[in-house]
Amino acid sequence: MLFFRELKKVVFSVAFAIFAVALVAMPVSQDVLDFSDRKIEQPQPGQDYGVQNKEAPEVIMPAALDTLARAFCQNSYVTYPIGFYKNVKLDSAKQREMADILSALTGLSAEELLALNGQDGQGYAIGTDDGLSVQQDGGFSVTMPSDAQAGAQAGRISLKESVDYAFFKDCMERADRLVGGGSDYAPEKLARFGVVPLTYEEAAAQYERTKQTDHFTGAYARLFSDYLLVGVLSVLPVFLSVALCLRDKRARMNGLLYTRRASSARLIFTRYAAVLTAVMLPTILLFYLSNLSVWGLYPGEALDYLAPLKYALGWGLPSVMISSAVGMFFTELTDTPIAVAIQGLWWFVDINLGLTEMQGGYSLFRLSPRHNSLRHTQNFIDGFGSLAANRILFAALALLLVAATVLVYEQKRRGRLDGYGKCKRFFAGLAHRKEQSAA
Amino acid sequence: MNQTSIVMEHVEKSYGRKQALQDISLTIEQGMFGLLGRNGAGKTTLMKMLATLLRKNAGQIRVCGVPIEDTKEIRRITGYLPQEFSMYPSMRVGEAMQYLGVLSGLNGKERAERTRRLLAKVNLTEQQHKKVRALSGGMKRRLGIAQALLGDPKVLIVDEPTAGLDPEERIRFRNLLCEVAQERIVLLSTHIVGDIEATCENVAILNEGRLLYNGTVSALTGEASGKVFTRAVDKRELPRLKKELCITSMHTQGGKTQIRCLSEVPVSGAQLCEPTIEDAYMLRLYRSGAQVDGLGGEQ
């Protein structure tokens, strides 16, 4: 009874109307509500199967060196600390260290390399100009020339023959540290330089994995999860729980509610369940709407009709849980909508960090796990353990936050906590200090 | 252990350095009990403590034999109408009662029955399908009483319920309180003396967190006997008299002003008159050294 009344309060609110619009607008704008024109085709011999990232030292080493050398010549290194783009310019001492690293890899002296500084590599060829190719998934890669081509170019910055992959990785790690971390030279990111074409056998195996593991529908549900989490489910539920909690304060209902017999645990957990239900019911519906569009594409194949439900609950729900729990906890603690800023900031940083692992980002603390592809089922299989740990961690953390909200609410009921008063006094104190220092 | 009264012993409450209640000892028996005092006297603090919304710093409070620390049981036996009563404006009256009934632990049958009975009692049956935002101020207060009675409490705590109501609605509300007080303790806090006079047999006066009086309304009124005077004065005398006397009212008729004042000794040229509870209340404040000069407002 209480649950339905709280659910009604959530659903008939402005916050929910905005949420519902965003929930529908996101998949529509990203063209993932209707997959009927995106059939996963069985590869046939002689086709172009696209490219893949592979730990292939023979590809990674020249490509990474090429990028690092260009950055060195221009003293302009691209990094993504905490997910945001940053252009790093090194001082002369650090450029000298970088020259030493390049020297160890190329055999050129540090002085020769330093002489290239600010010259955009003039006088030396770095890689080739004709290697740019566009991949099937919209990305692009630079392929390196063969040794024969390279050898033909005078003064080219290229790898010494004696450099092995372990030594190379070590040098790249040093380079990454020099530029402050977050660069593609970090050992765990080096594979991004390993862009190689997919062979027929690999493409066929990939197709089989999608067929056997995902039963096709799973792949679509996974891609749908990716978009919905990034755009909606990891951030917008916070608005619903904040609005629900602040509604008591706005209606000056706290005195009435605090003196009722219902326990704080019952009230808070019921409200939490109401927010989750209000978010998940239309979400599951959208998952099925999207997935339905491919059910006719694979006649005779064994499809997984529960895939939308599995992905909505297994992949999506933990993010909804944490977002809603953050909203409830910080709103009850402070009686302000500060939770929106907290969750918004977390979400923003997370999606930027996630940009570097679009085709399989399942790290433990990733708020929105990434898998922005219909393919790469193997990445999903490989990362499943990590993904499961991530989702369990977030669900558990969310329940802990809700339990903490119960404690906070109970303290407020007993007059032991006045978060709003404390915030007000804190900011008044700050303003007073500012005025004093200005005077 | 007294099962039908509220007993407070040496209760203290402070907010930081500000002492809101000092050494309050009070026993409140069944029926209407008035708590009178100026704004900021500590009435709301005392009410909130009884409603478990604030903790005391010292002393003992037992409500119908239940220590105030047993919040669960206190909430079961207490109904509370806060000073600023408000409900979700978009909820309908009946729906609001149902919602609060759920939170009061009532089952579906009890909720339906009590909602119907209480709305009838406060004369809101016809408004049960109206949204709360569409109710007048008086109707909202009556809804406040109805919701406070949902759990059939032994104690009803009503904080400044008549402030802002028109005279007709105020009288209706007071009668309603008297009705519900027949079977429970009703603690009425107000700064409107007329409300106490019309409804309560017993009263306590609070001023600056201290208890100034605790007893019957008639005894309080009796204290002012022989100390209330009226006199017609020239308008030019008023500034001087305001400084010398505790004037409780002024009424201008032509060039003369009829004043009503309090004095421990006879006032020359003035006539003794029957005290009201307002006179007695003002006298108590006057005696306590509270700042009461310049009170007279010309009518």
pLDDT, tens only, A352-377: 888 777 777 788 899 999 998 898 89
Specify whether A239 is located in the same domain as A151: no
Average pLDDT over residues B1-27: 89
Specify whether A211 is located in the same domain as A301: yes
Please give the structure tokens belonging to residue A61: 């080493």
Binary contact (B82, A414; C-beta < 8 A): no
pLDDT in tens, B254-273: 778 888 888 888 887 888 98
Say which range, A47-56, A85-94, A280-289, A343-352, has the weakest mean pLDDT: A47-56
What pLDDT score was predicted for residue A118? 64
Specify whether A96 is located in the same domain as A211: no
Of B75, B82, B84, the CB nearest to A261: B75
Please give the structure tokens belonging to residue B294: 């310049």
- Kindly report the nearest CA distance between residue A272 and chain B, in angstroms: 16
Q: Which residues of B182-202 are buried (b: 16+ CB within 10 A; e: fewer)?
A: eebbbbbbbbbbbbbbbbbeb
Which residues of A lie inside 8 Å of B (Cβ-Cβ)? 1-2, 5, 9, 12, 247, 251-253, 255-263, 267, 413-416
pLDDT band at A124 (very low <50, low <70, confident <90, very high): low
Q: Where are the domains of chain B?
A: 6-216, 224-287
Q: What is the rounded CA–CA span in Å between residue A404 and residue B222?
A: 56
Q: Which of A173, A197, A221 is the last residue of a domain?
A: A197
Mutate to test the interface with B, among A4, A248, A259, A418 (most CBs of B within 10 A): A259
How distant is the alpha carbon of residue A208 from its chain centre? 27
Our count of domains for chain A comes to 2
Q: Which domain holds residue A320?
A: 2-42+204-438
Percent of chain B with pLDDT over 90: 49
DSSP per residue, B134-199: GS-HHHHHHHHHHHHTTT--SEEEEES-STT--HHHHHHHHHHHHHHGGGSEEEEEES-HHHHHHH
More confident residue, A125 or A214: A214
- Residue A347 has, within 13 A of its CA and on its CB side, a CA count of 23
DSSP per residue, A330-345: HHHHHSSTHHHHHHHH
More confident residue, A78 or A112: A78
Of A9, A252, A259, the CB nearest to B52: A259
Give SS3 for A133.
strand
Of B55, B75, B90, the CB nearest to A260: B75
Q: Assess whether pLDDT exceeds 70 at residue A137.
A: no
Q: Which of A133, A168, A197 is the last residue of a domain?
A: A197
Chain B residue with minimal CA distance to A5?
A: B99
Strand partners, B272: B229
ipTM: 0.83
Please give the structure tokens belonging to residue A379: 């990445």
Q: Assess whether pLDDT exceeds 60 at residue A191.
A: yes
Specify whether A377 is located in the same domain as A422: yes
Top CATH class, B6-216: alpha beta
- Kindly report the nearest CA distance between residue A78 and chain B, in angstroms: 53
Specify whether A230 is located in the same domain as A175: no
Average pLDDT over residues A24-30: 93
Residues of B in contact with A255 (CB under 8 A): 48, 51, 53, 80, 82, 84
Chain B residue with minimal CA distance to A246?
A: B88
Q: Assess whether pLDDT exceeds 90 at residue A49.
A: no
Q: Assess whether pLDDT exceeds 70 at residue A130.
A: no
pLDDT in tens, B71-80: 999 999 999 9
Q: Which of A148, A171, A197 is the last residue of a domain?
A: A197
B4 backbone φψ class: left, alpha, beta (φ>0; ψ -120 to 50)? alpha
More confident residue, A429 or A379: A379
Q: Assess whether pLDDT exceeds 90 at residue A168.
A: yes
Residues of B in contact with A259 (CB under 8 A): 51-53, 75, 78, 80
Specify whether A9 is located in the same domain as A35: yes
Binary contact (B103, A262; C-beta < 8 A): yes
For chains A and B, CB pairs below 8 A equal 71
DSSP run (H or E) holding A245? helix A237-250
Of A1, A258, A261, the CB nearest to B53: A258
Q: Assess whether pLDDT exceeds 80 at residue A438.
A: no
What pLDDT score was predicted for residue A128? 40
Give SS3 for B230.
strand
Specify whether A111 is located in the same domain as A219: no
pLDDT band at B293 (very low <50, low <70, confident <90, very high): low
pLDDT in tens, B119-153: 998 889 999 999 999 999 888 988 998 999 998 99
Q: Assess whether pLDDT exceeds 80 at residue B281.
A: yes
Q: Assess whether pLDDT exceeds 70 at residue B295.
A: no
Binary contact (A9, B88; C-beta < 8 A): yes
Give SS3 for A79.
strand
Q: Assess whether pLDDT exceeds 90 at residue A47.
A: no
Binary contact (B104, A261; C-beta < 8 A): yes
Query: Is A43 buried (19+), middle (13-18) or exposed (0-12) by CB count in 10 A?
Result: buried
Q: What is the pTM of this model?
A: 0.80
Percent of chain A with pLDDT over 90: 63
Binary contact (B53, A413; C-beta < 8 A): yes
Specify whether A171 is located in the same domain as A228: no
Average pLDDT over residues B102-126: 92
Specify whether A275 is located in the same domain as A399: yes
Q: Assess whether pLDDT exceeds 50 at residue B299.
A: no
Specify whether A18 is located in the same domain as A108: no
pLDDT in tens, B214-248: 999 999 999 888 889 998 888 888 888 888 888 88
Q: Number of helices (H) and strands (E), helices first, in chain B?
A: 10, 14
- Kindly report the nearest CA distance between residue A438 and chain B, in angstroms: 28
Q: Assess whether pLDDT exceeds 80 at residue B52.
A: yes
Specify whether A145 is located in the same domain as A224: no
Mean per-residue pLDDT over chain B, rounded: 88
Q: Assess whether pLDDT exceeds 70 at residue A151.
A: no
Query: Residues A115, A216: contact at Cβ < 8 Å?
Result: no
Q: Which of B122, B70, B64, B55 is nearest to B93 (CA)?
A: B122
Specify whether A155 is located in the same domain as A257: no
Say which range, A275-289, A291-305, B271-285, has the weakest mean pLDDT: B271-285
